[in-house]
Every structure is written in structure tokens, then in C-alpha cells.
Copies of this chain bind each other. A is one copy, B any other.
Amino acid sequence: MSLNSFGHLFRVTTWGESHGLALGATLDGCPPGVPIDAAAIQHWLDQRKPGQNKYTTQRREADEVEILSGVFEGKSTGTPIQLMIRNTDQRSKDYGDIVEKFRPGHADITYWQKYGIRDYRGGGRSSARETAARVAAGGVARAALAILAPDMRITGYMVQMGPHGIDRNRFDWDQIAQNPFWVPDAQAAGDWADYLDGLRKSGDSVGAVIEVTARGVPAGLGAPVYGKLDTDLAAAMMSINAVKGVEIGDGMATAALTGSANADEISMGPDGPVYHSNHAGGILGGISTGQDVVVRFAVKPTSSILTPRRTITKSGEDTEIVTKGRHDPCVGIRAVPVGEAMMACILLDHILLHRGQIGTNQGRIG
């Protein structure tokens, strides 16, 4: 019931603060015999790493992962895997205004109100830095999925930045890794660069919508009624810093649909059911259909900005705050690998859960 954990059989617990000695993830329940390689995990961490380009915080972190346990001669042993990332760039000891003042829109005030003590350095536990541990965990999950579901491909990308959305007609999977925003639309990538540049210079920030698609997901993952695949995905994405909304398939837009329009019609194909559409985002009744699983989430704009905002101090005085320092103008960019990692962890967990309860017997059609 650890509050910093998620997953049923593949259980991930993250720990650590932004400016503490280290942060990491304790993974329990990984199947044995999975090749686990620090370099492969590092590959995913490098995608999330700050300072990669001018659109992300200029904090420089090596973000080097150490595997402290659970791996022997390059393979998982089935016992807990401890992944640790040392914090190396804690820079100045001057934390400025945030020691005494609460940033509006930030967890500063709620942590204080809850706990009566707050590691204010870089946001402590509420920092987006915590997501590095999730990305590392996702690297292990992907390694296990490569064995258990070798056809599965998990891809995250940005579909909206501030008011600007992508044009789905220009959707191109190959574009995603070609631009700093993980956008599957080359033209949007160019336009957004100018937009974000302006925003960055003005010291402001902006939100984004990230979509994560898992292709090759077997039918039958998930369970009624609180172990639903979409329930766990919604929780997984909502637990990421700054996320304020989660959608499966057509999401909020399904409210405007009629039943006849929303029904994803089915035909029989050579390898099983074939769907004529995917409004459902690959999940019906909480269980995967075999279609692409599609999740979207909105990331609010960073609250650490140069624009002065009214706030109060710990001692209850009205004041203003301006947050200097190295912050992301669009923290949504770095949320893309995080969303992928969460998808990987949840899908691995549900594959293990399904195997546990059901084994290999499933209902056959035809």
C-alpha cells in the first residue's frame, strides 16, 4: 500500500528528491532471465535528460543509472532490482525566494500544509526530476516486454503545444524522433520551435498534450472493475507531475458522439477480429481488444516562471514571487519518454496479471 508505488505484480516504487543525494526505483516482480543492461536503460534516460536542447532546462545532470541489485551476469534474477541515479548538479546553495514563499501553481504550499516540513531544494519530492526513476523503470519493463510481447511497440509523441495542435493528416511515425518536441508532424515541429522560442525569451511557459500509442498489444489484458487496463493507465498518467487530464481513445470527445457513431464495428479477419475504427482506444470494459492502445494526457505549464505572481510566505504575508533559475518552458517535452515508460510498466504488469489468473487459456473466436 506504499503511496509511492504502482503496479500489481510488476511493482515500481520510486524514491528520492530533486536535490538529495540520489533518486531511484525499486522494482519488484520482474520475471527472471530478462537481459538487463545499464546501457539500454541509459538510452531511455538520455531521452528525458535535461539540457538536451534549448527547449529544456539547462540543468546538467549526467543521469547515469546504476543497477544495484536483482541482476546477475546480465540477467534479472526475479528478485528486486534497485536502480539508482546520483544527483550531480545541485549547483548553488542559494535557493532564493522559494525557501520562504510558495510558488502559485506549485506543490510548495500543499507539501508544507500536509507535512509541516518541506525539502524546498528544487521542489524536493515534487520535482519533475522524480520521473527519471520512472523512465529507468520503464527501461526494465521494455526489456521484459521484448521477451513476453515481442511485437509490441510503445511510442509517445506530442500532439498539442499551447494552443497549437498537430494535423493528423500529416501524421508520420518517422518524424517523431527527428525534432526536439517528439512531434509526428514535420511542419508543426518547425512552427512550434518559433512559438516556444518566443515564450522562453519572455520567461513564460506553456502546456502540452502527449499521446502514447502501444501497438501489438494482445487482446485480453485488464480486468473488471477496478483493475481495468484503462483505470491503471489513467492513474499511471495522472500520477506524472503536472498532468491534469487523461483520455483513452476518443476521450472527452466521446461525450459528443452518438452510440451509432461511437461503435467500433467488427469484421472477421484471417487472424481474428478486425475493427473498422478505434474510438475505444483499444480498450472495452477495461480489457484490451487487440487494437492499438491509445492514451493522451495534458501537461500543465511549469509554474516556475519569470512573470511576477502574487503569493504568500510561510509566515502568512502577502508578497510576489519571480522564479529564476533553469526551468523548462514546456515541460511537456520531457514528459514524452515518461508517458512511454508508464505505458510499458502498466502493460508488463497486466501481462503478468493475466498470465497469473488465466494462464494461456483464452476464449477463441472462430
CA distance A219 to B226 in the complex (A): 27
The answer to whether A68 and B32 have CB atoms under 8 Å apart is no
Given known A80-B4, A247-B245, contact A205–B259 (CB-CB < 8 A): yes
Do A307 and B256 touch across chains, with their CB atoms under 8 A apart? no
Rounded to whole angstroms, the CA-CA distance of A5 and B230 in the bound complex is 15
CA distance A247 to B356 in the complex (A): 29
- Contact partner of A357 (CB less than 8 A), chosen from B78, B231, B361, is B78
Within the assembled complex, what's the spacing in Å between the Cα atoms of A140 and B6?
23
Known contacts A78-B115, A245-B245, A312-B273, A257 near B300 by CB under 8 Å: yes
> Could you tell me if A258 and B105 are in contact, using CB atoms closer than 8 angstroms?
no
- Least CB distance, A361 to chain B, in whole angstroms: 6
In the bound complex, CA of A364 to CA of B332 (Å)? 33
* Residues on the B chain within 8 Å of A107, using CB: 284-287
**Can you name 20 extra interface pairs (CB under 8 A) apart from A105-B280, A117-B363, A207-B257?**
A3-B28, A17-B70, A31-B357, A104-B265, A104-B266, A111-B287, A116-B364, A228-B239, A245-B252, A247-B252, A247-B298, A252-B296, A254-B298, A254-B300, A262-B300, A263-B303, A263-B305, A312-B366, A316-B365, A316-B366
| Cβ-defined contact, B160 with A262, below 8 A | no
Selected from B28, B259, B352, the residue in CB contact (under 8 A) with A2 is B28
Contact flags A108-149 to B (C-beta < 8 A → 1, else 0)? 011111111111000011100010000000000000000000
Our pick among B207, B244, B332, B363 for the contact of A281 (Cβ within 8 Å) is B244
A115 with B13: CB separation less than 8 A: no
CB-defined A-B contacts under 8 Å, sample of 27: A1-B1, A2-B80, A4-B28, A13-B13, A15-B79, A17-B70, A29-B357, A32-B357, A68-B84, A76-B117, A77-B125, A78-B358, A105-B263, A113-B290, A114-B220, A126-B286, A130-B225, A162-B256, A207-B256, A231-B239, A247-B298, A257-B300, A260-B307, A265-B311, A267-B310, A268-B312, A315-B366
1/0 per residue, CB under 8 A from B, across A10-46: the answer is 0101111100111110101101110000000000000
The answer to whether A163 and B252 touch across the interface, beta carbons within 8 angstroms, is no
Interface centre among A247, A289, A296 (most CB of B within 10 A): A247
- Knowing A116-B361, A365-B312, say if A298 contacts B355 (CB, 8 Å): no
B80-A15 in contact (CB<8A): yes
Which of chain B's residues have a CB closer than 8 A to the CB of A232? 235
CB nearest to A160 among chain B residues = B255
A227, CB-defined interface residue at 8 Å: yes
Q: What is the minimal beta-carbon distance from A340 to any residue of chain B, in angstroms?
A: 17
**Would you call A109 and B266 a contact (CB within 8 A)?**
yes
With A248-B245, A267-B312, A286-B107 known as contacts, the answer to whether A226 contacts B4 (CB < 8 A) is yes
Mark each residue of chain A from 304 to 328: 1 if its CB lies under 8 Å from any CB of chain B, else 0.
1101011110111110000000000
**Cα of A105 to Cα of B114 in the assembled complex, Å:** 41
